[in-house]
Amino acid sequence: MKKSMRNVGDDYLWDQTGEPDPEIQELEQLLGTLRCQPRPLEIPAALQPGRPRFVLSDFKPRLAIAATIVLIVLGAGLWLKLERRDTPGVAQTETKPSASDNSNRAAATVTEDVADEVPNAEKDRLEEPVTPPFKHINKTHRNRLHQTSVAVNANSKRTLDPKTQELAPNELKEAQAGKAQLMLALRVASAKLNLALKKAQGTNNGNLIHNQHKVG
Amino acid sequence: MYELEATADLLLMNGQSKAAIKQRSDEPAHEAVLIRAVLEGDRDQYGRLYSLYAPLVHGILLARVPRSEAEDLVQDIFLHALRKLDTLRDLNAFGPWIGMIARNRAMDFHRKSHETVEVTEDLKSGDATETKAAEILEIIRSLPDAYRETLVLRLVEGMTGPEIATRTGLTPASVRVNLHRGMKLLRGKLGFEEGL
């Protein structure tokens, strides 16, 4: 009997069905005085309900695909840019004759300065128009310093290419100018050496005769 | 023996309880509609959510903080929930979500050490019935967390077991066990054998 009463009480405690348990009813009455009596909710006018947020996990596969595509496009773009950087380097040397012209003038003045020191016999030969492109050579050298390693490799490829071994007209000019400058320097040096030798021989001969004289 | 019978009852829930649970299980779908409406800017629908869930939040708070504080905290929690409503992923889980906010807020309240004010304020009320109610509430608060919350929702807020299960997100079996064990502990503390 007691057991069945307990079961009835359990049902009432669970869902308020069945025979009420007097103890629970008493507690309900007492504690019911503390029950929530909700005031109307005062929502401030400035308060806005949040918008549904962007949930990253929902878009993960799409984001991964998009990121891969972007990476491929960026990689291809970078590769193309590096490829293009090689070709303008060659084009620049071919399409800048004005720079070499300017350098010719400067080279000419240098030649005149040097020629003042050379004996008259040599002058006529040296007064040929030589065009050593100092500035041009310096400029291309400076450009090479700023080139990336890829560009350097491309240059090395270019030298290996048998087609490019035939020099372009500008490059031929440069080479000739360089050769002329070298020859000029050699001539000046040999002239100076000859002069010095002659002077030295002149003094030495006198001394020898003098010495011979003394000995004799 | 008594506990074994209660467990058997849990496993073989009678048809009436099942029907009640089924009836209540439609509730979340209705809530999801309300929440969607609120997110789309219909603030009036939030008032309906408030009236549906205020007892739950109040009960959770009452099991932890003084009654005088609970009233204000309920309002604060609902306003906070409105601000953060976009963070709710499962629109059918508004009850468990706001219940968790309420528990966290109660913990914050205790961190600010208002506990000394709590007892005196609750026992201050002049009415003898309310004083007795406050005393019993204090005894319930001394029970373990799981029992006190379920008992307050059942005895103070007048919610049924299935309602508590639906709104808190607990399984009906857990709620039933908590109610049964909590009631047993409360009976022992109140000395119900000798009467109130």
Segment B136-153, tens digit of pLDDT: 999 999 999 889 999 999
- The pLDDT, as a whole number, for residue A64 is 85
For the residues A24-33, what does the mean pLDDT come to? 90
Q: Which of A15, A16, A23, A26 to mutate to test the interface with B (most CBs of B within 10 A)?
A: A15
| pLDDT score at B110 | 86
What pLDDT does B9 receive?
A: 41
- pLDDT-derived band at A42 (thresholds 50, 70, 90) equals confident
ipTM comes to 0.75
b/e burial code for range B40-70 (CB count within 10 A of at least 16 → b) = eeeeebbeebbebbbbbbbbbbbbbbbbebb
Q: A43–B196: do the CB atoms touch at under 8 Å?
A: no
Tokens 């639906």 -> residue: B166
The per-residue pLDDT for B30 is: 81
- Mean pLDDT, rounded, for B144-164: 93
Q: Are A6 and B6 in contact (CB under 8 A)?
A: no
Q: Determine the distance in angstroms separating the CA of B79 from the nearest CA of chain A, rounded to an integer.
A: 7
H or E element, residue B151: helix B145-151
Give the pLDDT score at B185. Answer: 93
| Cβ count near B28 (within 10 Å) | 19
Choose between A205 and B63: higher pLDDT. Answer: B63
Residue pairs between chains A and B whose CB atoms are closer than 8 Å = 120
CB-CB under 8 Å, B196 with A38? no
Q: 3-state SS of chain A?
A: CHHHHHHHHHHHHHHCCCCCCHHHHHHHHHHHHHCCCCCCCCCCCCCCCCCCCCCHHHHHHHHHHHHHHHHHHHHHHHHHHHHHHHHHHHHHHHCCHHHHHHHHHHHHHHHHHHHHCCCHHHHHHHCCCCCCCHHHHHHHHHHHHHCCHHHHHHHHHHHHCHHHHCCCHHHHHHHHHHHHHHHHHHHHHHHHHHHHHHHHHHHHHHHHHHHHHHHC
How does pLDDT run across A119-138, given as a tens digit for each residue?
555 555 555 555 555 545 55
- B172 to chain A: nearest residue by CA? A14
Instruction: List the single residue in B39, B55, B133 with the smallest CB-CB distance to A36.
Output: B55
Longest dimension (CA), chain B: 57
* Residue B127 confidence class, pLDDT cut points 50, 70, 90: confident
The confidence band for B121, taking pLDDT boundaries of 50, 70 and 90, is low
Whole-number pLDDT of residue B31:
84
Average pLDDT taken over every residue of chain A: 68
Structure confidence at residue B172 (pLDDT):
94
pTM, 2 dp: 0.53
For B71-97, write each residue's pLDDT tens digit.
889 999 999 999 899 888 888 899 999
Other CB atoms closer than 10 Å to residue A196's CB: what's the count? 10
- Assess whether pLDDT exceeds 50 at residue B3: no
Cβ atoms B82, A47 nearer than 8 A: yes
Better-predicted residue by pLDDT, B188 or B196: B188
Residues of chain A whose C-beta is under 8 A from some C-beta in B? 3, 6-7, 10-11, 13-17, 23-24, 26-28, 30-36, 38-44, 47, 49-53, 55
As a whole number, mean pLDDT of residues A93-102 equals: 49
Q: What is the rounded distance in angstroms from the CA atom of residue A108 to the CA atom of residue A177?
A: 11
Q: Please tell me the number of Cα atoms within 13 Å of A3 on its side-chain side.
A: 7
Q: What mean pLDDT do residues A155-178 have? A: 70
Q: What confidence tens digit (pLDDT) does each residue in B92-112 have? A: 899 999 999 999 999 999 887
Pick the residue of B34, B86, B118 with the most A CBs within 10 A to test the interface with A by mutation.
Answer: B86
Which burial class, exposed, middle or buried, applies to B84 when counting CB atoms under 10 A from its CB (0-12, 13-18, 19+)?
middle
DSSP B106: H
Instruction: Quick: pLDDT tens for B5-44.
Output: 433 343 444 444 444 444 445 566 788 889 998 888 888 8
Range with the poorest average pLDDT among A45-49, B145-149, B185-189: A45-49
* A21 neighbors B57 (Cβ within 8 angstroms): no
Interface of B with A in 155-174 (CB under 8 A): 155-158, 160-162
Q: Which one of A81-85, A200-204, B64-68 scores highest in mean pLDDT? A: B64-68
Tell me whether B61 touches chain A (CB under 8 Å): no
Alpha carbon of A36: minimum distance to chain B alpha carbons (Å): 6
pLDDT of B112: 78
Instruction: Give CA–CA dist A13/A86, Å, rounded.
Output: 87
Locate A46 and state its tokens.
Answer: 């400035």
CB contact under 8 A, A50 and B58: no
Asked if A36 and B157 come within 8 Å (Cβ–Cβ), the reply is: yes
